[in-house]
């Protein structure tokens, strides 16, 4: 079975022009285990987004990809001390970081979405009057499928989705939008498929009231209940005060 490779990168920019960067350097560590033999270190030099020179720890020297890059690589390869320093990056930079990252990246268990939310949002304008957003949070690994169902059938028309967005804690989130014009009696659902789920997770949209109206009703009901509780507490306090008071007759 083919090995799967993982990696991480470090980017260094050099701003040489008012209208944006001219050149940058990208360091990469590619690995399929935390063993030094399974780690490869790269440093690539770019000019105007084109790679011109690359150092690879497996090759052991610089390789040029343009006329300027070839000339520069020839000169840099004559610097034995510089080459030794570059070769040392695999053990000095890659290995310590990979020993921390590897257990999390390869041994992390599949985690189902912690939350799937379906709500109405304001459409950007155009041919449709309504828009729904389905948000999926806290899943791992990255790959996930979010589909829209209209009366049980998958629809791809007027659907836009973000990429899987990293939360910074090894988990991901994604957001999918459906623009539509409501049809009488239609059922709209968001269906989430992920390797951690034994069956798709489906959220049905309740079009009975807009979300803003449902929120207003919920807030109003909460306020009413709180008012009744306070009124009842005041009435009980008043009755107890009256029971403990001795009435003195007056002429």
**Distance (Å, rounded) from C-alpha 148 to C-alpha 177?**
9
Instruction: State the first-to-last Cα distance of the chain, in angstroms, to the nearest integer.
Output: 107
Domains in the chain, please, with CATH?
6-107 (3.10.320.10), 115-204 (2.60.40.10)
Alpha-carbon separation of residue 196 from 9, 28, 110, 117, 142 (angstroms): 28, 30, 5, 18, 11
Helix (H, G, I), strand (E, B) or coil at 141: coil
Per-residue pLDDT of the chain (251 residues; tens, 9 = 90+): 334 455 555 555 555 555 556 788 888 888 877 788 888 999 999 988 889 999 999 999 999 999 999 999 999 999 999 999 999 999 998 888 878 776 666 556 789 999 999 999 988 877 888 999 999 999 998 999 999 999 999 999 999 999 999 887 778 999 999 999 988 889 999 999 999 999 999 999 987 755 554 555 456 556 667 777 777 766 676 666 666 655 455 55
């Amino acid at each position: 079975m083919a090995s799967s490779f993982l990696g991480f990168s470090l980017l260094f920019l050099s701003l040489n022009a008012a209208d944006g960067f001219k050149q940058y350097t990208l360091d990469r560590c590619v690995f399929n285990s935390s063993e030094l033999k399974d780690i490869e270190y790269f440093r690539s030099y770019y000019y105007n987004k084109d790679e011109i020179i690359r150092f690879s720890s497996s090759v052991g020297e610089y390789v040029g990809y343009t006329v300027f890059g070839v000339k520069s690589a020839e000169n840099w390869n004559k610097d034995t001390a510089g080459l030794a320093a570059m070769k040392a990056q695999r053990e000095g930079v890659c290995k310590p970081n990979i020993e921390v990252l590897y257990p999390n990246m390869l041994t992390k268990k599949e985690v189902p979405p912690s939350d799937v939310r379906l709500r109405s949002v304001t459409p950007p304008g155009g041919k449709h009057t309504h828009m729904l957003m389905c948000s999926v949070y806290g899943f791992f690994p990255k790959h996930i499928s979010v589909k829209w169902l209209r009366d049980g059938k998958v629809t791809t028309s007027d659907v836009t989705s973000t990429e899987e967005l990293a939360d910074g804690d090894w988990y991901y989130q994604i957001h999918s939008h459906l623009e539509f014009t409501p049809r009488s009696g239609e059922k709209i659902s968001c269906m989430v498929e992920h390797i951690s789920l034994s069956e798709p997770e489906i959220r049905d949209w309740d079009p009975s009231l807009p979300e803003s109206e449902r929120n207003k009703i919920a807030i109003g009901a909460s306020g009413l209940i709180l008012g009744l509780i306070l009124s009842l507490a005041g009435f009980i306090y008043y009755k107890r005060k009256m029971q403990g008071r001795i009435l003195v007759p007056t002429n």
